[in-house]
Chains A and B, each alone.
Chain A
Amino acid sequence: MTLDHTKCEAAVRRALDRVTDPELDEPVTDLRFIERLTVGHDGSVSIGFRLPTYWCAANFAFLMADDMRREVGELPWVRKVQVTLGEHMYADKINHGLEHGLSFQATFGDEASAELDDLRRTFLVKAFQRRQESLLRHLTTLGYKPATIVSMTLPQLQALPIGPEGGPLRQRYVDRREVCAGPDTTLAFVDTHCSPLSADTLLAYLQALGRVTINAEFNGALCRGLLAARFNEDGEPSLYDFARMAPGKAV
């Protein structure tokens, strides 16, 4: 079998588009973390990635690398995936762990206090909250009443006319809805405990979600800027890095 290089690379890129930075909830590709990508004739894929600072949390780095390996590994023609982290305080350790298929705990031993699954879960919930907030705010702006919103089912949400801006927001939310919504609920919107929302307290609920967004935005703004500053990519970091992170805007 011969592989079409261009097509294969594009397929790998699409797979990497599905890998997000857990805290920023944005694809590692958009964040420009992917530094190098090579596809071999034998179906091997080698990915080099980098992070905004030498100090970025090792568990996040490991998590992203693990997700990259998983997503790319699912492509039918891929035989082997090698993921390498560059210029990081734990680069050697992480690369060793990745190379040998070790868990995060096994890679770091006593230095690690929690396995990645808990961490993955924590940040999936935060992503759920942020995506839900963006969509709820959009629906509110369009004039949908709290009572309508909280009682809406998922199919109703899917069919709702919400304009060109709303489409991507809805898709992003639906992609993460199952993080908190159990299989038995048909409601479009539930809280992190899978309980229905209340029309009376929807505004306060949104404000509370807003603080989760504030945190992520802080990281997003800094990470983009620091990455550009560190690798001096665009000559110097510019407002472009910040403007891309306009609040509530779908990525």
Chain B
Amino acid sequence: MYRTKSGEEIFIIDGHTHNWNAAKDNIKNIHGQQFIDCFYGYHTVLSPKDQVWPKEKFDHYGTEQMYQDLFVDGPDDMAILQCTYLTDFYKNGFNTIEQNAEMKNRAPDRIILNGAFDPRDGEAGLDALEAMAAKYKIKGVKLYTAEWRGDSRGYKLTDPWAYRYLEKAQKLGIKNIHVHKGPTIIPLDRDAFDVADIDHVATDFQGLNFIVEHCGLPRLDDFCWIAVQETNVYGGLAVALPFIHARRDYFTNVISELLFWLGEDKLLFGSDYGIWTPRWLVEQFMAFELPDEVKQAKGVDLTLQAKKKILGLNAARLYDIDVDAQKQKIAASSSEKVAA
């Protein structure tokens, strides 16, 4: 919970978090090593200096640390926990649903557990998705279209098999499709992170919501064009938001463009934990004001109401969370723990 100076409570749903394991004994090959090293690069480059972790902690922080950083030291009320399998790089996967379920058990009222699928898994993957949905009652999945699989360096959402998976997801009530469309960890050519495929699937699957994580950065212009045409396309602010600290002018530019093209109802806060921790992100975001000249030039504003939507209410809508009821649930389960 974040409280404004005037005492108003802001309900925070962190739309993009991970509980990964990149410890040495889980790394399969040099790609796995380089992958986590690159993440650490992001962490050190954009975090405030006093928020930089030692590398060992970054490699594998574990469930307790995550609970502490999000819900005790951090302002998150809830967090959406995403999967990233990367089984070609990590022996037991980087960030699997089984691993994430540990966190769900630790904080059942606070964690929204998401699944994942990969259309290259064919029929067997469809069955696995069904089993995952039954076991974990997921309402969302995270897709990583650039993931390596054997010789394949990625897929597109418009592939025939991807359509079958999306149809299946829709049938199973998995209505929130988070798609990583962001920077680096790039395959041979950048097509696998191209945002154009979102345009097609968003039109063809009106019952699904597509949350484009990282807003397609660095292809913000392409993403804005697509998002403005599709009512069911959302922007996830993970990776864009940390620029608020190191490059404020740049963040101003990005957020004002997003407000102009998508609007305040279509943006979701995400810390991308453990790359960044939510506390400083939320504090800086709450303190952030658009400069007057930007407000005038672009005709947008980042009001308190807009911030509330971005920080939690939009995600609550997508995941059918009744904020008041959820607050009570969380308060009740926290006090039980204290009593115990």
Q: Does B286 contact A (CB under 8 A)?
A: no
Asked if A53 meets B188 with Cβ closer than 8 Å, knowing A215-B219, A229-B40, A239-B246, the reply is no
Residues from chain B with a CB closer than 8 A to the CB of A237 are 44-45
B161 interface hit (Cβ, 8 Å): no
Whether B44 contacts A229 by the Cβ 8 Å rule is: yes
Which listed residue, B34, B153, B221, B249, touches A211 by the CB 8 Å rule? B221
Chain A interface, DSSP helix/strand/loop, else mixed: helix
B188 touches A247 (CB 8 A): no
Q: Is A160 an interface residue (CB 8 A)?
A: no
For B254, give the chain A residue with the smallest CB separation: A214
**A111 close to B188 (CB less than 8 A):** yes
- Per-residue A-contact encoding for B197-232, CB less than 8 Å = 1, 0 else: 000000000000000000001111100100000000
| Per-residue interface assignment for chain A, residues 31 to 65, with 1 indicating a CB less than 8 Å from any chain B CB and 0 otherwise | 00000000000000000000011111111000000
Interface size class of A (residues with CB under 8 A): 35 or more
A6 CA to B327 CA, complexed, in Å: 70
- Please tell me if A113 contacts chain B, counting CB pairs below 8 Å: yes
B250 at the interface (CB under 8 A from A): yes
A89 interface residue (CB < 8 Å to B): yes
Q: Main SS of chain B's interface residues?
A: helix
Q: Does A226 contact B (CB under 8 A)?
A: yes
Minimum distance in angstroms from B37 CB to a CB of chain A: 7
> Are A218 and B217 touching (Cβ within 8 A)?
yes
A216 at the interface (CB under 8 A from B): yes
Nearest-neighbour CB distance to chain A for B87, whole angstroms, equals 17
Question: Is B38 located at the chain interface by the 8 A CB criterion?
Answer: yes
Specify which chain A residues have a CB less than 8 angstroms from the CB of B45 in the assembled complex. Answer: 222, 225-226, 228-229, 237, 241
Among the 9-residue stretches B13-21, B179-187, B312-320, the one with 4 or more Cβ atoms under 8 Å from chain A is B179-187
**B37, B38, B190, B220: residue with the most chain A Cβ atoms closer than 10 Å:** B38
Most buried by A among B186, B217, B243: B186
Determine the chain B residues whose CB is within 8 A of the CB of A114 once the complex forms.
189
Instruction: Decide: A215 and B217 in contact? CB cutoff 8 A.
Output: yes
User: Whole-angstrom distance from the CB of A246 to the nearest CB of chain B?
Assistant: 8
- Which positions 236-291 of chain B face chain A at CB distance < 8 Å? 243, 246-247, 249-250, 253-254, 257
Residue of B at shortest CB range from A229? B41
Q: Are A222 and B31 closer than 8 Å at their CB atoms?
A: no
Q: B38: which of A53, A207, A217 is its contact (CB, 8 Å)?
A: A53
Q: Are B218's CB and A236's CB within 8 A? A: no
A90: nearest chain-B partner, CB-CB: B188
Q: Is the CB of B183 within 8 A of A222?
A: yes
Residues of A98-116 at the interface with B, using a CB-CB cut-off of 8 Å, are 108, 111-114
Q: Which of A209-242 contact B (CB under 8 A)?
A: 210-212, 214-219, 221-222, 225-226, 228-230, 236-237, 239, 241-242
Instruction: Report yes or no: B220 in contact with A219, Cβ–Cβ below 8 A.
Output: no
Quick check: B34 and A89 within 8 Å, CB to CB? yes
- Report the Cα distance A241→B37, complex, angstroms: 19
Known contacts being A53-B184, A55-B185, A229-B45, is A214 close to B220, with CB within 8 Å? Answer: yes
A-side contacts of B35, CB under 8 Å: 55
Residues of B within 8 A of A246 (CB): 249
The answer to whether B188 and A59 touch across the interface, beta carbons within 8 angstroms, is yes
A215 to B253, CA, bound (A): 10
A52→B37 CA distance, assembly (Å) = 11
By a CB distance below 8 angstroms, the chain A residues around B224 are 211
A210 to B249, CA, bound (A): 13
Contact among B38, B183, B297 with A54 in the assembled complex (CB-CB below 8 Å):
B38
B174 at interface, CB cutoff 8 A: no
Docked CA distance A54–B42 (Å):
13
Measured CB to CB, the closest approach of chain A to B64, in angstroms, equals: 27
In the assembled complex, the CB of A225 is this many whole angstroms from the nearest CB of chain B, namely: 3
Given A221-B243, A221-B246, A247-B249, A230-B186 contact (CB < 8 Å):
no
Least CB distance from B299 to A in Å reads 11
Q: B253, A242: Cβ atoms under 8 Å?
A: no
Q: B257 touching A55 by the CB < 8 A rule? A: no
CA distance A52 to B186 in the complex (A): 12
Q: How far is B221's CA from A216's CA once the two chains are assembled, in angstroms?
A: 11
Residue of A207, A217, A218, A228 with most chain B CB atoms under a 10 A cut-off: A218
Whole-angstrom distance between the Cβ of A61 and the nearest chain B Cβ: 10
B46 CB-CB contact with A under 8 Å: yes
Closest-by-CB residue of B relative to A236 is B44
For the complex, give the distance between the alpha carbons of A105 and B275 in Å: 35
Q: How far does the alpha carbon of A218 sit from the alpha carbon of B246 in the complex, in Å?
A: 12
Q: Name A111's closest neighbour in chain B (CB-CB).
A: B188
Residues from chain B with Cβ under 8 Å of A219 in the complex: 183, 218
- Name the one of B37, B41, B218, B249 contacting A215, with C-beta atoms under 8 angstroms: B218
B191 at the interface (CB under 8 A from A): yes
> Contact: A212 with B188, CB < 8 Å?
no
A-B contact pairs, 10 of them (CB 8 A): A55-B34, A58-B189, A111-B188, A112-B188, A215-B218, A218-B218, A225-B246, A229-B40, A236-B44, A246-B249
* Additional pairs, 12, CB under 8 Å, beyond known A114-B189, A207-B297: A55-B186, A57-B190, A113-B191, A216-B218, A218-B183, A219-B218, A225-B45, A225-B246, A228-B45, A229-B40, A229-B44, A242-B247
A-B pairs with the 10 shortest C-beta distances?
A225-B45, A54-B34, A211-B221, A229-B41, A215-B218, A218-B218, A226-B41, A57-B186, A53-B38, A229-B44
